[in-house]
Homo-oligomer: A and B are copies of this chain.
């Protein structure tokens, strides 16, 4: 009886933890059961999704491949997506958040496929719940996670399996918010992400200019996209997946 009381007390006092899966290539190392997955692809899928929802898109259905995405045109979806940063031929929209800052998407359903982001969502399917996280809705996402009181795994979309700086910086930013709200950090990848964020948050561009993704985006002349995607707390929405589609949760 005493023993069971001690266990109950221990369960009650255990803080939730934040884990950071640095690339989708190592998701198999994580146990997603009873946890919330926060998928992030800062440049640009998750930032674009959050922007589109903030501008009134009713839902965004993610697809790992082009052909499945394209079929949704027949069901009144806007079809959208990129490969290697460029809009897919015959698709109506690409992956720039600025394309979605428009009345024409208000109330519309969007089918979206991207190079890395949608694959990261596919790989998170063992989780209790999947959110889409961006710096654009950082604080709202953190506040929602606290209400759920579950362990959280940030899944960084990366670039073709490789580690990406901007996704890791998001994980660090989320760690900073969640520590203030009572979460534990007991994994090195989260600790490293937090250190990177704390040491660069006052001048994100200085570090990001050296990153491989910035160099790729620079070649595509989309400086403004990157600037937008690195802005914190522009939108007060939480983006989550319900029945395979991304909607605003609050």
Residues of A within 8 A of B (CB): 22-23, 25-26, 29, 159-165, 168, 185-189, 191-192, 195-196, 199-200, 207, 210-213, 215
Instruction: Please report the C-alpha to C-alpha distance between residue A189 and residue B210 in the assembled complex, in whole angstroms.
Output: 12
Interface of A is mostly: helix
Across the interface, do B188 and A213 meet the contact criterion of CB distance under 8 Å?
yes
Across the interface, do B187 and A162 meet the contact criterion of CB distance under 8 Å?
yes
How many copies of this chain sit in the oligomeric assembly?
2
Across the interface, do A195 and B189 meet the contact criterion of CB distance under 8 Å?
no
Across the interface, do B195 and A168 meet the contact criterion of CB distance under 8 Å?
no
Instruction: Please report the C-alpha to C-alpha distance between residue A168 and residue B160 in the assembled complex, in whole angstroms.
Output: 21
Most chain B C-beta atoms within 10 Å of own C-beta, residue among A25, A188, A195, A212? A188
Instruction: Please report the C-alpha to C-alpha distance between residue A212 and residue B190 in the assembled complex, in whole angstroms.
Output: 11
Residue of B nearest to A167 (CB): B188
* Shortest distance between the CB of A22 and any CB in chain B (Å): 6
Neighbouring B residues of A168 by C-beta, 8 Å: 192
Instruction: Please report the C-alpha to C-alpha distance between residue A244 and residue B243 in the assembled complex, in whole angstroms.
Output: 53
Known A-B contacts A22-B163, A29-B161; the reply to A212 vs B195 at CB < 8 A is no
Neighbouring B residues of A213 by C-beta, 8 Å: 188
Across the interface, do A212 and B186 meet the contact criterion of CB distance under 8 Å?
yes
Known A-B contacts A22-B22, A25-B25, A25-B26; the reply to A163 vs B192 at CB < 8 A is yes
9 contacts between A and B (CB under 8 A): A25-B29, A29-B161, A159-B188, A163-B189, A168-B192, A185-B210, A186-B212, A188-B212, A199-B199
Across the interface, do B200 and A188 meet the contact criterion of CB distance under 8 Å?
no
Residue of B nearest to A185 (CB): B210
Residue of B nearest to A26 (CB): B25
Residue of B nearest to A200 (CB): B195
Most chain B C-beta atoms within 10 Å of own C-beta, residue among A159, A162, A207? A162
Residue of B nearest to A207 (CB): B195
- The 8 Å CB contact of A161, one of B26, B187, B192, is B26
Residue of B nearest to A160 (CB): B29
Instruction: Please report the C-alpha to C-alpha distance between residue A29 and residue B158 in the assembled complex, in whole angstroms.
Output: 12
- The 8 Å CB contact of A29, one of B29, B162, B189, B196, is B162
Neighbouring B residues of A199 by C-beta, 8 Å: 195, 199
